[in-house]
């Protein structure tokens, strides 16, 4: 179940800190340092959600930035803390649906570090919702392991998403 992150702030921040400098989450952080996630007290600049299991435990985090001047979203950040891919995947689907259907944002942009195991799922999601791969930046991200990685950028327009949903 998708819920507001602010309602689960302490549990969420602990789980996020537990991912620092771990190989499993190296591509999630995509940088040479980690910083505590600020859970906003409003939704003007960011929408922040947690994914909850059937017992109400935080199993994931979904956040994106909101650009009010052009009614778009970017910087999609997705982190699954569990092996519960089904519930987390449904919550991610709900977040995407909300972006385009509930909040009616006109565009979503986001990136992935090439080599991240989730990259193939993002490619499928982009295809499913008529989005596109905007480009790949070579050796653009330096992770804490000291290696440089390519970064792939995606975008989905609301009208393309809506067309895909209608013709499903």
- Alpha-carbon distance of 130 to 120, in angstroms, equals 15
User: What's the pTM value of the predicted model, to 2 decimals?
Assistant: 0.95
In this predicted structure, the answer to whether residue 168 has a pLDDT above a threshold of 70 is no
Token pair recorded at residue 130 = 């008529």
pLDDT at 147: 95
Sheet strands (E) in the chain: 2-4, 46-52, 58-67, 72-80, 107-113, 132-142, 148-157
Task: Supply the mean pLDDT for the chain.
Answer: 96
**pLDDT by residue (tens digit) across 130-160?**
999 999 999 999 999 999 999 999 999 999 9
- pLDDT of 167 reads 80
Phi then psi for 115, rounded to 5 degrees?
110, -15
DSSP classification of residue 144: T
Per-residue confidence (pLDDT) for residue 68, from 0 to 100 = 97
**CA torsion through residues 121, 124, 130, 135, sign:** positive
Is the pLDDT at 114 greater than 80? The verdict is yes
* CATH fold of the domain at 2-166: Aminopeptidase (3.40.630)
| Cα 86 to Cα 5: distance, rounded to the nearest angstrom | 20
pLDDT tens-place string over residues 42-89: 999 999 999 999 999 999 999 999 999 999 999 999 999 999 999 999
What does the pLDDT average to over 4-24? 96
Which run of H or E residues covers position 165?
A: helix 158-166
Helices within 62-117 (DSSP H only): 85-97
Lowest mean pLDDT among 22-26, 103-107, 164-168: 164-168
134 or 30: which leads in pLDDT:
134
């Amino acid at each position: 179940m998708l819920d507001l992150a602010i309602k689960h702030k302490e549990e969420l921040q602990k789980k996020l800190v537990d991912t620092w400098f771990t190989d499993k989450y190296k591509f999630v952080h995509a940088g040479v340092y980690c910083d505590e996630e600020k859970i906003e007290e409003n939704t003007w600049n960011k929408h922040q959600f947690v994914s909850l299991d059937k017992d109400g435990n935080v199993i994931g985090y979904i956040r994106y930035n909101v650009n009010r001047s052009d009614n778009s979203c970017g910087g999609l950040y997705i982190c699954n803390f569990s092996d519960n891919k089904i519930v987390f995947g449904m919550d991610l689907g709900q977040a995407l649906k909300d972006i385009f259907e509930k909040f009616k944002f006109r565009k979503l942009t986001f990136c992935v570090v090439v080599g991240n195991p989730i990259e193939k799922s993002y490619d499928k999601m982009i295809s499913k919702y008529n989005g596109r791969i905007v480009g790949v930046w070579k050796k653009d991200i330096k992770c804490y392991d000291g290696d440089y990685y390519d970064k792939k950028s995606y975008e989905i327009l609301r009208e393309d998403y809506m067309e895909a949903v209608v013709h499903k």
